[in-house]
Chain A
């Protein structure tokens, strides 16, 4: 007990050094735990890109490419699927809802996604967030479009803006649908998912742009059907790129997946997005490991700073050690005194760091989720954080053994003679 008091008073007397050391450890802990929380939040945000969808269905192919083009709108599918197959599964008894997706056009690098009302009705991300409108309403007419939040922001577009979409995905496209401009009727609220970077039109709009096209080539100049003459009645949808599907009961998901994968009408692939998202995350996980490594390095620097701070005082403290020895303190107790000091410093640093990071999380978790789509869960203290905290204190105590060992030896060698 007296040793603890001595350690405390000794640290207090060197308040500036002690405070700086505590601060540097607190900063390390803050970074370590902060990175961990953000990492967890990022993972939660990533797997929350798509929620409540049980299956993603596309033409026969790999599961990762399907997820990438259907959900992230990256790349293209090798094949489309027939609208008849889509209808077959849309009307399947085990299916609650479906969202058709047709890709192929773009606007200055942003993907154009053709879909129907089900998208605005049923699409969910981060568990239960649905598509909201920042302004305007969902596209109803053939040449109506809704802009993702980031698309609208990057062009500064408002409701009523005319868009000429491009055929294909190139940023500078050779083929523009100049004869059939679209009108912005709605701007979606921010979702922090790939939805923000897409333009939504109706399936009819997609079809109308490509009316009279044959085998991927546009009609000759002068032969196009004028936009004004096109009505929904004379448009016929025969292909889409993929569709999202929700089953009535989760139990039937696997059965339905099997049924789709072995569908006789057409070669199809159905994937469970949660699993594929997890696979994709484990690929992206490298960045996350790098981040953890950096924050661990910062922690090591913090602890070494403490070691240096304690070690440099050793010479000044030789006299003190001799006095304590004269008072009958055993060299072991002097060892304990030094270890106590380092433990106190690392414990104080850990507490301060944890308090700071949780304070920051509490203050900023709402703006961060809104801005970056990273849900920083305010769950109490996770096992991992407890492990980090205990680890830092233990490492502090362990590092404290180095100057303590030296003080112990000096205590024995110098004895009462240290001027």
Chain B
């Protein structure tokens, strides 16, 4: 069994003396849709930072997509993240001075690996194809600020899955959407991840979404640091 994420005996603190996250074991299988549940302050963002390789644990091992992050340099981790992971924030996902199209194609422009994995014959066609799937075709050449929050989050999906990353991390992506739109957003996100054959790590404090996922992990339970 290969894991997308495998962490052992990890300890991390923003200051080395006061750890905010300690976990014995976290394993996420490849291709799974995983729901990470956590209230605010439970260490969600810290955990995602560790998986994404922005933060480095003081102790333990953290293997993501076959790469042991603790043995990579800072810039190698940045490259690893950019070429293998898609990231969706709660809001303000987009670069305000780029058009929708430019936002979507950005990962492929920054990372050659992502560009190589597109299925269409050109980046332009790939952007159009993905935009069509996510109902964004008509917005491609608009500015970011013209879109509603729901539309912006769909652009964020498009940008996260272009160039078929092997892992998609979504950090509270639905919390600024109303309930109807949450369902639709999840549906689109799952479709997009399936198509890219990406593992999905979905973080939310909203337990009502839990049922849609293969696996559910409570951060509060695995984190041994009590706040």
Interface residues of A (CB under 8 A from B): 2, 6, 9-10, 12-14, 319-320, 322-332, 415-417, 419
Residues of A close to B52: CB separation below 8 A: 326, 415-416
Contact A329 B95 (CB under 8 A): no
Measured CA separation A416–B220 after assembly (Å): 21
Cβ of B38 within 8 Å of any chain A Cβ, yes or no, is: no
Cβ of B96 within 8 Å of any chain A Cβ, yes or no, is: yes
Question: What per-residue 1/0 map shows which CB atoms of B28-64 lie under 8 Å from chain A?
Answer: 0000000000000000010011001011000000000
Contact A416 B171 (CB under 8 A): yes
Identity of the chain B residue whose Cβ is nearest the Cβ of A324 in the assembled complex: B95
Interface residues of B in 57-113 (CB under 8 A from A): 74-75, 78-83, 85, 87, 89-90, 92-98, 102, 106-107, 109-111
Contact A416 B48 (CB under 8 A): yes
Contact B74 A330 (CB under 8 A): yes
7 closest Cβ contacts across the A-B interface?
A: A328-B82, A13-B97, A415-B54, A326-B87, A330-B78, A417-B45, A319-B92
- Starting from the known contacts A323-B93, A328-B111, A416-B52, 12 additional A-B residue pairs (CB-CB under 8 Å) come to A2-B106, A6-B98, A12-B97, A323-B92, A325-B54, A327-B106, A328-B79, A328-B83, A330-B79, A416-B49, A416-B87, A416-B171
Question: What per-residue 1/0 map shows which CB atoms of B102-137 lie under 8 Å from chain A?
Answer: 100011011100000000000000000000000000
Contact A328 B110 (CB under 8 A): yes
Least distance between B43 CB and chain A CB atoms (Å):
12
Sampled A-B contacts (28; CB under 8 Å): A6-B98, A9-B97, A9-B102, A10-B97, A13-B97, A14-B97, A320-B95, A323-B89, A323-B92, A325-B78, A326-B81, A326-B87, A327-B87, A327-B106, A327-B110, A328-B78, A328-B81, A328-B82, A329-B110, A330-B74, A330-B78, A331-B78, A332-B75, A415-B55, A416-B45, A416-B49, A416-B89, A419-B90
Measured CA separation A109–B4 after assembly (Å): 97
Contact B49 A415 (CB under 8 A): yes
Measured CA separation A324–B102 after assembly (Å): 13
Residues of B close to A416: CB separation below 8 A: 45, 48-49, 52, 54, 87, 89, 171
Identity of the chain B residue whose Cβ is nearest the Cβ of A411 in the assembled complex: B54
Residues of A close to B74: CB separation below 8 A: 330-331
Instruction: State the majority secondary structure of interface residues on A.
Output: helix
Total CB contacts across the A-B interface at under 8 A: 71
Least distance between B184 CB and chain A CB atoms (Å):
23
Measured CA separation A14–B102 after assembly (Å): 17
Measured CA separation A141–B159 after assembly (Å): 96
Residues of A close to B81: CB separation below 8 A: 326, 328
Contact B78 A329 (CB under 8 A): yes
Contact B49 A328 (CB under 8 A): no
Contact A327 B55 (CB under 8 A): no
Measured CA separation A327–B111 after assembly (Å): 9
Least distance between A190 CB and chain B CB atoms (Å):
56
Contact A9 B89 (CB under 8 A): no
Least distance between A223 CB and chain B CB atoms (Å):
95
Residues of A close to B93: CB separation below 8 A: 323
Measured CA separation A211–B64 after assembly (Å): 113
Residues of B close to A325: CB separation below 8 A: 54, 78
Residues of A close to B102: CB separation below 8 A: 9
Least distance between A308 CB and chain B CB atoms (Å):
20
Identity of the chain A residue whose Cβ is nearest the Cβ of B14 in the assembled complex: A413
Contact A9 B45 (CB under 8 A): no
Least distance between B77 CB and chain A CB atoms (Å):
9
Instruction: Select one of A320, A330, A331 contacting B96, CB under 8 A.
Output: A320
Contact A330 B75 (CB under 8 A): yes
Query: Among A13, A14, A327, A328, which residue has the most Cβ atoms of chain B within 10 A?
Result: A328
Measured CA separation A10–B87 after assembly (Å): 22
